[in-house]
Amino acid sequence: MKISQLEQFRAEVLNQNRRADPDEFFTQVHSNCPIIYSIKDLDPEYFREHFLFGRNPLHIGDLLSQEIKFDVLNFFENIGNINMPVREYLELDKPILQRTNYCRFIDMKFKKYLNLLNGASALRKNLYLAQVNTEDYSIAPLIQNITNQLDYYCFGLGNCWSKVEEYLWIGPSGHTEPLHYDRTHGCLMQLHGTKTITLVPPQGTPDIYRIPAEAMTIPPWFSEASLMAPDLNKHPLLKNILPISQTLNLNAGQALYIPPGWWHEVRSIGNSYTISINRFYWE
Ligand SMILES: O=C(O)CCC(=O)C(=O)O
Ligand SMILES: [Fe+2]
């Protein structure tokens, strides 16, 4: 997206007067995720006004660039001996509501997990190194140049966040994270490989088959449906969701801002593994 298009988008946002109201996820109607090709065309105030306040997702085309690079082998060498909790997803053959266990955690050195990834058994056994806190596992300093750049151009608004959490995700191509939303502002940074992501704005919530609050194993910010493999016989209301959903590919070096309340289903594609970092920014 060029600046002139961003200006047009801005006019649209202001026209519709879609200002932030954290309690009013459901009143907003927007399903357009613009892409900006140069992160340097943003600054935190601009980003705040058009995206954070408007609750509009944004696809950033060049989080990584000539100056800011990510060296996979070096990264793996640095984390090889760290023990990390790998998720094993269980009972995937059952509908999500009938599972008694969502996942269990297996502690292993990263280099052991890497062997499983390379040998394809990570996909076969549904093993995903998911949501590993980068502070707790001494990973944050290894990617500081990347997260600094994100904060410099987008999220760095002094003390405006009550908390920022950062997580590492490494998994095999073919793995899908089920449809869910997060309650914070999120930014998914793709460091290696490609993910395909389906986004649904919050006003789709009534038709998305969210998990009932009384379900024991899965929280209500998950959906029992899939948009990547929709079953319209089982979930007929998805016919209202599909027209307002959109799917984009997040390639290595790109980032996606996911506003609070936006549903997303995330699948790793390509022929090897994916590495992502995400950040949750709490208001
Ligand atoms: O990358 C994934 O598998 C899931 C990421 C996600 O849900 C998020 O960034 O909020
Ligand atoms: Fe998420």
pLDDT truncated to tens, each residue of the chain (283 aa)? Answer: 444 555 554 455 444 434 333 333 323 334 478 899 999 999 999 999 989 998 999 999 999 999 999 999 999 999 999 999 999 999 888 888 888 888 999 999 999 999 999 998 999 999 999 999 999 999 999 999 999 999 999 999 777 899 999 999 999 999 999 999 999 999 999 999 999 999 999 999 999 999 988 887 888 999 999 999 999 999 999 999 988 999 999 999 999 999 999 999 999 999 899 999 999 999 9
Are 158 and 44 in contact by the 8 Å Cβ rule? The answer is: no
- Pocket test residue of 188, 200, 248 for ligand 1, highest count of atoms within 8 A of CB: 188
Beta strand pairing call for 255-258 and 35-36: unpaired
Q: Which domain holds residue 39?
A: 3-15+33-282
CA geometry: angle at 69 spanning 66 and 73, to 5°?
140
CA atoms within a 13 Å half-sphere pointing along the CA-CB vector of 105: 9
Look at residue 22 and tell me if it is in a domain: no
Nearest residue by C-alpha to atom 10 in ligand 1:
186
Q: Decide: helix, strand or coil at residue 201.
A: coil
Nearest residue by C-alpha to atom 3 in ligand 1:
177
126/174 Cα distance (integer angstroms): 10
**What ligand 1 atom has the least distance to the C-alpha of 177?**
3
Look at residue 27 and tell me if it is in a domain: no
- Amino acid identity, residue 11? A
Look at residue 20 and tell me if it is in a domain: no
Q: Look at residues 187, 201, 144 and name the one whose alpha carbon lies nearest to residue 44.
A: 187
Overall number of domains in the chain: 1
Return the H-helix or E-strand segment holding 196. Answer: strand 194-200
**What one-character-per-residue DSSP string does 229-265 give?**
S--TTT-TTHHHHGGG-EEEEE-TT-EEEE-TT-EEE
Look at residue 92 and tell me if it is in a domain: yes
- Exposed (0-12), middle (13-18) or buried (19+): which is 156, by Cβ within 10 Å? middle
Between the alpha carbon of residue 116 and those of residues 5, 86, 121, 124, 196, the distances in Å are 45, 11, 5, 10, 23
Q: Could you tell me the CATH number of the domain that includes residue 119?
A: 2.60.120.10
Q: Is 182 in the pocket of ligand 1 (CB under 6 A)?
A: yes
Q: Is 186 in the pocket of ligand 1 (CB under 6 A)?
A: yes
**What ligand 1 atom has the least distance to the C-alpha of 169?**
1
Return the H-helix or E-strand segment holding 77. Answer: helix 72-79
Look at residue 148 and tell me if it is in a domain: yes
**CB-based contacts of 272: which residues, under 8 Å, 6+ apart?**
173, 193
Look at residue 80 and tell me if it is in a domain: yes
Q: Is 277 in the pocket of ligand 1 (CB under 6 A)?
A: no
249/259 Cα distance (integer angstroms): 17
Query: What pLDDT is recorded for position 237?
Result: 97
Look at residue 28 and tell me if it is in a domain: no
Query: What pLDDT is recorded for position 214?
Result: 83
Q: Look at residues 117, 250, 223, 213 and name the one whose alpha carbon lies nearest to residue 173.
A: 117
**What ligand 1 atom has the least distance to the C-alpha of 171?**
3
**What ligand 1 atom has the least distance to the C-alpha of 276?**
1
251/196 Cα distance (integer angstroms): 9
Q: Decide: helix, strand or coil at residue 158.
A: coil
The helix-helix angle for 72-79 and 110-118 (nearest 10°) equals: 130
Look at residue 263 and tell me if it is in a domain: yes
**Dihedral over alpha carbons 93, 95, 101, 103 (to 10 degrees):** 60
Are 73 and 181 in contact by the 8 Å Cβ rule? The answer is: no
- pTM summary value: 0.89
